[in-house]
């Protein structure tokens, strides 16, 4: 929980139940309604509030906190969506975020439940920020479903479900802003009257099983939910008509480049170039290319069965046709890790639904149909985590993820994996061998390039070397660090004097696993940490250039929170910097000062909570309509950003309703649902964005 330093008193105006209800009316005559969070300020004019949010080095979330008068709560119980109209008063695209909060009883600073949301706005645009919230009617029960990153509406969950009659705060803020920002807020209201949850939530006996035969949540309804096998044929026929009516953009090169745009040297490979001050790729035919892609185009959508057999209404008998739907997973995070389950059987509802839809040839049909969908929807790139079988058949540009299989540093504390043992020669050898396994793609003109690694945990400027020091004496990185210190200090006594240590010998230094006094050892720690980072990026670059000449080194896919010093080093070695940016907009995202390098966005998404899976992902929206709008604004923001040369949506298919075994994620963020039915709103948004792609990028259309 993060701490909040300032609060604001807001007089609650009451709720009139109906199709919508006014939430409150700001009043200039009652200035106690508003107080700044950080250094934010406001001005009330009639029924509108203008807020100014400056850059605040002391607060990453400056803005305004709104709360009811002392001793009272906001009551949102009659509705499902909180809405407020927001106008962007800035001369650039901007994002305003909102959190609705239950506080820990007795605390004015700690969150107990929080629902996040936000909105991206073009210059001068006014639009409605809508936040859908769930409600807690079953707090503290011992039979609530487990293995879900976010639990279903009605159950106690710290994210997205609230005690709706006991809301303590509304927080409007800008996260990590780099310039002063201004917005106008008006028409605060509640929408979508609440009509109740399923009576199945009354008891364990009525709730389970909670996942139906198609892998959908049983105890809710939504547009597009499947109810019988007979619907597969009708949906397939409907989509066939749609795909035939939308074959894709005709005014493109064979690689998806801007055929009407300027020409550059045709090298047979992709490479970065600037046009009118903005970065692009140049496709193999010599035309400008902006990469519009989608990730994870396989069929692997398993959910864990261990400890949860009673969740599922009906699993098929295992036979030759569906045997691939039954697999085994080795989870490492969250639910199964907490239960100390090392291995679990799994079931893949998505692939089973493809069998219902297409029969035994579902894999071959998937390989044919998926590129056809992408072209119809306007995508020009097969994104990361996709099956290599798609690459040759699709005639679409693609990126590939490759890695080294070398052992990790055992003392490191990475999230997805510990950092590589880069002083082991097998690091480079393994990466080279894994590239050679992709031999037919190393010279394919449709191959843009390679990502190596994903969301590595770099930590601060000594983050990696701490893991080295916690490792055994035989660890190659630790031996390399010891040799570096020996060259500098010569004698162990001089190291002890500098670090305030008590090592008996250099062998004793290697044997120890405790960390030194960081204040005294800091420069040595940072210097070796920097050497490790330099070594990692240089080895990867050299290996790629040797094994895959002409293909781009697309970086390591930095996460939202990244170390700028690491990015600066990476920029010296990669062809393109890559970031996974789960934000409402990337219009104002920039590389570190002094770095002029193209950027590709490897992952981003939007989701909602009312279409089956309970989690709306990392950037929530209130509905499929709002999800499509957010998608459009993100694409527009990326096209507006002069550094961004493409963005790849994560991901193709909704995550399992019951959560994936690795980490319990159950996000409704796909372009198709668990039954392989496309979300029409997202398809329409992608087609529209694609049709205007190069005009928007070049500034010929805004």
pLDDT at 18: 45
Per the structure, how many domains does the chain have?
A: 3
Residue 12 confidence (pLDDT) above 70: no
Residues 97-114: tens digit of each pLDDT: 999 999 998 887 789 999
CA 614 to chain centre: 16
* Domain at 132, CATH number: 2.60.120.430
Residue 16 confidence (pLDDT) above 90: no
Q: Which of 304, 547, 315, 576 is nearest to 431 (CA)?
A: 547
493 is a domain residue: yes
Residues 521 and 648 grouped into a single domain: no
Angle between helical axes of 362-377 and 349-358 (0-180°, round to 10): 100
Residues 608 and 525 grouped into a single domain: no
Residues 476 and 548 grouped into a single domain: no
Averaged pLDDT, 619-641:
97
pLDDT at 17: 33
Residue 505 confidence (pLDDT) above 70: yes
pLDDT at 32: 65
Residue 418 confidence (pLDDT) above 80: yes
Largest CA distance in the chain: 80
Q: Could you identify the residue written with the tokens 């001089």?
A: 494
State if pTM tops 0.85. Answer: yes
Q: Could you identify the residue written with the tokens 């609650």?
A: 12
Cα 411 from Cα 510, distance rounded (Å): 13
Residues 19-56: tens digit of each pLDDT: 788 876 777 766 667 767 888 888 988 889 999 999 98
Residue 540 confidence (pLDDT) above 70: yes
pLDDT at 158: 84
325 is a domain residue: no
Residues 364 and 509 grouped into a single domain: no
Residues 538 and 449 grouped into a single domain: yes
Tokens of 415: 């999230």
Q: Could you identify the residue written with the tokens 């309804």?
A: 221
pLDDT confidence of 561, banded at 50, 70, 90?
confident
Residue 11 confidence (pLDDT) above 50: no
Tokens of 305: 């069965």
SS3 261: coil
621 is a domain residue: yes
310 is a domain residue: no
Q: Which of 143, 178, 193 is the last residue of a domain?
A: 193
Q: Which of 478, 499, 530 is the last residue of a domain?
A: 530
Q: Which of 193, 222, 256 is the last residue of a domain?
A: 193
Residues 519 and 568 grouped into a single domain: no
Residues 515 and 539 grouped into a single domain: no
Residues 526 and 538 grouped into a single domain: no
Residues 33 and 174 grouped into a single domain: yes
pLDDT confidence of 655, banded at 50, 70, 90?
very high
Residues 423 and 548 grouped into a single domain: yes
3 is a domain residue: no
Residues 490 and 590 grouped into a single domain: no
- Structural domain that includes position 58: 20-193
Residues 137 and 177 grouped into a single domain: yes
Looking at the chain, the whole-number percentage of residues with pLDDT higher than 70 is 96
The CA-atom distances, in angstroms, between 491 and each of 475, 498, 531 are: 21, 11, 22
pLDDT at 29: 67
pLDDT at 449: 98
Contact by Cβ (8 Å): 421, 409: yes
Please give the mean pLDDT across all residues of the chain. 93
* Domain at 643, CATH number: 3.20.20.80
Residues 670-689: tens digit of each pLDDT: 999 999 999 999 999 999 99
pLDDT at 33: 73
């Amino acid at each position: 929980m993060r701490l909040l330093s300032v609060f604001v008193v807001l007089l609650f105006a009451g709720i009139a139940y109906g199709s919508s209800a006014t939430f409150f009316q700001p009043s200039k005559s009652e200035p106690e309604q508003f107080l700044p969070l950080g250094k934010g300020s406001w001005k009330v004019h009639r029924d509108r509030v203008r807020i100014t949010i400056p850059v605040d080095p002391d607060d990453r979330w400056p803005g305004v906190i709104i709360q009811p008068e002392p001793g009272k709560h906001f009551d949102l119980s009659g509705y499902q969506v909180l809405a407020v109209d927001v106008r962007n008063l800035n001369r650039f695209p901007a994002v305003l975020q909102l959190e609705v909060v239950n506080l820990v009883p007795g605390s004015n600073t700690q969150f107990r439940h929080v629902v996040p949301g936000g909105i991206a706005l073009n210059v001068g645009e006014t639009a409605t920020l809508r936040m859908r919230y769930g409600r807690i009617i079953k707090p503290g029960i011992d039979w609530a479903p487990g293995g879900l990153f976010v639990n279903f509406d009605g159950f106690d969950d710290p994210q997205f479900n609230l005690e709706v009659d006991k809301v303590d705060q509304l927080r409007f803020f800008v996260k990590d802003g780099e310039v002063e920002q201004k917005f106008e807020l008006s028409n605060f209201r509640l929408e979508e009257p609440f009509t109740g949850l399923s009576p199945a939530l009354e008891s364990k006996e009525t709730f389970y099983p909670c996942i139906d035969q198609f892998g959908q949540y049983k105890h809710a309804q939504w547009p597009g939910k499947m109810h019988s096998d007979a619907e597969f044929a009708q949906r397939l026929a409907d989509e066939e008509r749609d795909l035939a009516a939308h074959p894709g953009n005709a005014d493109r090169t064979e690689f998806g480049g801007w055929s009407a745009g300027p020409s550059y040297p045709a090298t047979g490979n992709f490479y970065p170039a600037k046009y009118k001050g903005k970065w692009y790729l140049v496709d193999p035919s010599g035309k400008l290319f902006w990469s519009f892609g989608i990730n994870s185009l396989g069929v692997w959508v398993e959910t864990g069965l261990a400890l949860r057999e009673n969740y599922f209404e009906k699993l098929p008998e295992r036979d030759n046709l569906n045997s691939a739907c039954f697999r085994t997973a080795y989870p490492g995070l969250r639910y199964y890790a907490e239960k100390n389950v090392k291995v679990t059987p799994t079931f893949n509802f998505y692939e089973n639904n493809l069998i219902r839809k297409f029969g035994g040839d579902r894999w071959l049909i998937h390989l044919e149909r998926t590129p056809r969908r992408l072209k119809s929807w306007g995508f020009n790139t097969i994104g990361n985590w996709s099956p290599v079988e798609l690459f040759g058949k699709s005639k679409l540009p693609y990126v590939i993820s490759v890695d080294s299989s070398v052992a990790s540093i055992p003392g490191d504390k990475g999230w997805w994996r510990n950092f590589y043992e880069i002083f082991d020669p097998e690091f480079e050898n393994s990466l080279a061998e894994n590239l050679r396994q992709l031999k037919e793609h190393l010279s394919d003109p449709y191959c843009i390039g390679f990502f190596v690694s994903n969301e590595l945990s770099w930590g601060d400027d000594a983050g990696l070397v701490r893991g080295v020091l916690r490792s055994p004496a035989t660890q190659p990185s630790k031996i390399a660090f010891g040799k570096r210190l020996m060259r500098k200090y010569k004698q162990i006594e001089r190291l002890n004097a500098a670090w305030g240590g008590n090592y008996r010998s250099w062998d004793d230094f290697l044997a120890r696993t405790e960390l030194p006094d960081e204040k005294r050892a800091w420069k040595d720690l940072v210097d070796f940490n920097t050497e490790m980072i330099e070594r990692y990026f240089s080895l990867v670059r050299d290996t790629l250039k040797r094994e895959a000449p002409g293909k781009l080194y697309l970086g390591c896919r930095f996460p939202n929170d990244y170390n700028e010093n690491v990015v600066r080093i990476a920029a010296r070695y990669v062809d393109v910097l890559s970031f996974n940016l789960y934000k409402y907009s990337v219009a104002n995202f920039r590389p570190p000062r002094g770095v002029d390098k193209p950027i590709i966005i490897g992952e981003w998404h939007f989701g909602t909570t009312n279409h089956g899976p309970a989690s709306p992902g990392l950037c929530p929206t209130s509905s499929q309509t709002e999800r499509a709008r957010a998608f459009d604004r993100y694409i527009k923001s990326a096209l507006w950003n002069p550094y961004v040369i493409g963005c790849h949506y994560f991901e193709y298919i909704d995550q399992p309703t019951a959560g994936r075994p690795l980490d319990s994620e159950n996000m409704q963020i796909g372009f198709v649902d668990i039954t392989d039915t496309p979300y029409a709103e997202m398809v329409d948004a992608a087609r529209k964005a694609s049709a205007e792609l190069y005009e928007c990028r070049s500034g010929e259309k805004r």
